[in-house]
């Protein structure tokens, strides 16, 4: 049994829990735990690769801001999600900004020792590829929805994805710490449109809206909206 203090916490995630024990142990052996304050910039677009991360507590916003200050928010990464793997494969600079939300605890596996380990044990590259391909699959789905789905269905689908930790956790969370403006940014919708859809869903008894959070009251009816 692994004695690392965060091992059982990470086992709640689908990707890590399905890794061979050797890879789990190696990742933890190379890692260090980092406690970061609200607003800390972990890395920004163009930074050199710095390794692989897992969220242990708190959350990280992944996105970008253009020269005019307009923000594109791709996701808010929560425990026990892993991220930062793209740069392992291509060695290229970071593609987006990663900024800590609230108090945050991360597991950091630095780039150099991880690449050295994978050089010695290339069989484990496949597991890192599975982490990346899962996110690529989600990206294609989101792009398709952006083109084909009406706004209420897109919103319902994104809430379900967040509740399920983008495929990482089961069962799904019912209460999401998610301000409406963040949800609007993720969906490329105005705050007014997002607020109106959420209010409609609350009136139907599907959601309950609180300050900075959204509670899923009827997950099956929310799921049904994504197929209409």
- Given a contact cutoff of 8 angstroms between Cβ atoms, the answer to whether 14 and 168 are in contact is yes
Question: In this structure, is the dihedral angle defined by the CA atoms of residues 88, 94, 95 and 98, taken in order, positive or negative?
Answer: positive
d(CA 177, CA 149): 25
- Given a contact cutoff of 8 angstroms between Cβ atoms, the answer to whether 216 and 174 are in contact is yes
- Given a contact cutoff of 8 angstroms between Cβ atoms, the answer to whether 47 and 54 are in contact is no
- In Å, how far are 60, 77, 104, 146, 185 from 100, measured between CA atoms? 4, 9, 6, 27, 17
Q: What is the pLDDT of residue 69?
A: 77
- Given a contact cutoff of 8 angstroms between Cβ atoms, the answer to whether 106 and 55 are in contact is yes
Q: What is the pLDDT of residue 170?
A: 84
Q: Cα 194 from chain centroid?
A: 20
Lowest pLDDT segment from 148-152, 168-172, 183-187: 168-172
Q: Domains for the chain: give ranges and CATH numbers.
A: 7-141 (2.60.120.10), 150-225 (1.10.10.10)
pTM of the model: 0.89
Taking every pair of Cα atoms in the chain, the longest distance, rounded to a whole number of angstroms, is 57
- Given a contact cutoff of 8 angstroms between Cβ atoms, the answer to whether 101 and 78 are in contact is no
Q: What is the pLDDT of residue 53?
A: 98
Residue-wise burial string across 196-215, b where 16 or more C-beta atoms lie within 10 A, e elsewhere: ebbeebeeeebbeeeeeebe
Per-residue pLDDT at 215 exceeds 90: yes
Per-residue pLDDT at 204 exceeds 70: yes
Tens digits of per-residue pLDDT, 61-93? 999 887 787 888 989 999 999 999 999 999 999
Rounded average pLDDT over 31-56: 96
- Mean pLDDT, the chain, as a whole number? 93
Per-residue pLDDT at 106 exceeds 90: yes
């Amino acid at each position: 049994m692994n004695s690392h203090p965060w091992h059982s916490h990470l086992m709640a995630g689908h990707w890590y829990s399905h890794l061979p024990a050797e890879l789990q142990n190696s990742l933890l052996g190379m890692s260090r735990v980092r406690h970061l304050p609200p607003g800390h910039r972990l890395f920004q677009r163009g930074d050199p690769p710095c390794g692989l991360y897992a969220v242990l507590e708190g959350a990280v916003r992944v996105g970008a801001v253009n020269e005019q200050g307009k923000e594109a928010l791709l996701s808010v990464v929560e425990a026990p999600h892993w991220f930062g793997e793209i740069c392992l494969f291509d060695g290229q600079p970071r593609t987006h900004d990663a900024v800590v939300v609230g108090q945050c605890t991360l597991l950091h596996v630095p780039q150099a020792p991880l690449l050295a380990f994978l050089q010695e044990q290339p069989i484990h590259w496949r597991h890192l590829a599975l982490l990346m391909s899962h996110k690529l699959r989600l990206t294609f789905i989101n792009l398709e929805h952006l083109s084909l789905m009406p706004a209420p269905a897109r919103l319902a689908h994104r809430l379900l994805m967040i509740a399920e930790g983008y495929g990482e956790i089961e069962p799904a969370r019912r209460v999401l710490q998610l301000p409406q403006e963040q949800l609007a940014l993720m969906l490329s919708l105005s705050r007014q449109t997002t607020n109106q859809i959420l209010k409609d869903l609350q009136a139907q008894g599907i959601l309950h809206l609180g300050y900075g959070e959204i509670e899923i009251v009827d997950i099956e009816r929310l799921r049904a909206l994504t197929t209409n």
